[in-house]
Amino acid sequence: MLSLLVPLLLVNTARAYDWHFADSPTQCQNVTVNISGDGGKPPYRILVIPYGSTTVTHEVRVIKDIPFDGNANSLSFKMDWPKSSQFVAVVSDASGFGTGGTSIAGIVQDSDDNSCYDDSQNVKPDFYYSIDPTNSLVQCQTTRIYWDKSTVQGTPQYQGVIPGGDSFAIPAGTVTDESGLGTGFDWTVNVRTGSTFLLVGGDDRGNGTAGSTLYTISGGTQNDDSCINSDSPSSTAGSPAGGAYATSTSGGGSGSGSSDDNSGGTNVGAIVGGVVGGVVGALALGLLVLFFHRRKRGNKHAGEKPVDLLVGDEGDEGPGRSELPQYYEPEPFIVPDPTVASDSGRGSFEGGRPPSQVLSDGSAPMTSASRKGPRRELRPVNIIQHDDAGPSEAPHHEEEPETVELPPAYTSVRK
């Protein structure tokens, strides 16, 4: 936004004279305009143009083009516009249009008197004008301004008005007739991009008899600035013309002490301060939100406890410090009972006493596995008791039995 405002605030040549409102324009009250300085060339005249909307549902404001009497430096006229109506005023002298400067957008103050205007009337211009391309004014691009010559009196003239800046007469080029575009001329828009611009039309009946149209100058796609120089119309730095007058319904407004008013009547310093303050406030708010978010996450993680899937339900007494949990207690490995029974269910051995795995009746002892289920058939086993640790001849069977060799009994030694 600042990039658009900076080029609008270029300093132009000082005005040869100044003018100001003696008091803020008020509904149905007389307002006085005074000229100061010796640089002006009378006769003077003032052009008051409606700006923005009005409290009335339809347009009742007529553009005022009022000349001063003779060489007078003061003029009084009645402000017959409804309260809260915005306006822009331009003062000129004999040397040209807008030589006294242009006010920013002022506002009509309220009063108890509303008899000066008819809120049922709908103001219409004396003739209409158009532009081509329609609805757009582009910096350094050619625009055709045209009209219906059967509706005008004398030669039409057009003015460019920049609130709070320069106002000028638009130079009328060669007037031509074109099919579909009526009678008109071409104008190169030598106004800076971003400027608020009022195009005012009139004829021999006075300035503004064709009404006015509000535009914002566009840069277009080409951003052509070939026609822009130090003399190009723009908003001006310093106090706007008109002196002290209200620019809001609360009575606050423009004065000679204000130096940063722009074309819309808004203080540039306030805009910059508002933008900077908004950015700083947004950053502070973001940092505050980030701080509380991290703090909340930290508290959440600090309050979490590890879940022990091996811990029993509440009320179960856990192991002491020196005891292992039940799930970690070692269990002894128990060797299963050997199966030493033969095909007949009895043990077979030679000499000596039977091993402990064979019962006195020759059957294998009952094990936990055999008690729990049906008794399975045991494979045949030959048990050989060695006397001298020598090999023994295995008995012949249809199925070769497994041989289990035992150490010598050494019974003969005892004898």
What residues of the chain score a pLDDT lower than 70?
1-14, 237-238, 251-276, 297-330, 333-382, 384-401, 409-415
pLDDT of residue 409: 67
> Contact, 148 vs 165, CB < 8 A?
no
Measured between alpha carbons, how far is 80 from 165 in angstroms, rounded to an integer? 25
pTM passes above 0.75 = no
Measured between alpha carbons, how far is 87 from 243 in angstroms, rounded to an integer? 15
Could you please report the per-residue DSSP string of 3-31? HHHGGGG---PPPSSEEEESS--BTTSEE
pLDDT tens-digit series, residues 242-287: 888 888 877 666 654 333 333 333 444 445 566 667 777 777 888 8
pLDDT of residue 58: 80
Could you please report the per-residue DSSP string of 142-211? EEEEEE-GGG-SS--EEEEE-TTB-EEEPPP---EEETTTEEEEEEE--S-TT-EEEEEEEETTEEEEEE
> Contact, 182 vs 147, CB < 8 A?
yes
pLDDT of residue 276: 64
Residues contacting 101, CB < 8 A, separation 6+: 15, 18, 19, 90, 91, 167, 236, 240, 241, 242
Q: Maximum Cα–Cα distance for the chain, whole Å?
A: 169
pLDDT of residue 21: 94
Q: Position of tokens 């001006």?
A: 236
Question: What is residue 317's three-state secondary structure?
Answer: coil
Measured between alpha carbons, how far is 334 from 357 in angstroms, rounded to an integer? 16
Query: Which of 186, 147, 190 is CA-nearest to residue 168?
Result: 190
pLDDT of residue 80: 92
pLDDT of residue 73: 95
pLDDT of residue 395: 54
- Beta strands 402-406; 18-21: pairing state: unpaired
Question: What is residue 59's three-state secondary structure?
Answer: coil
pLDDT tens-digit series, residues 373-383: 555 556 666 67
pLDDT of residue 143: 95
Measured between alpha carbons, how far is 93 from 272 in angstroms, rounded to an integer? 36
pLDDT of residue 18: 93
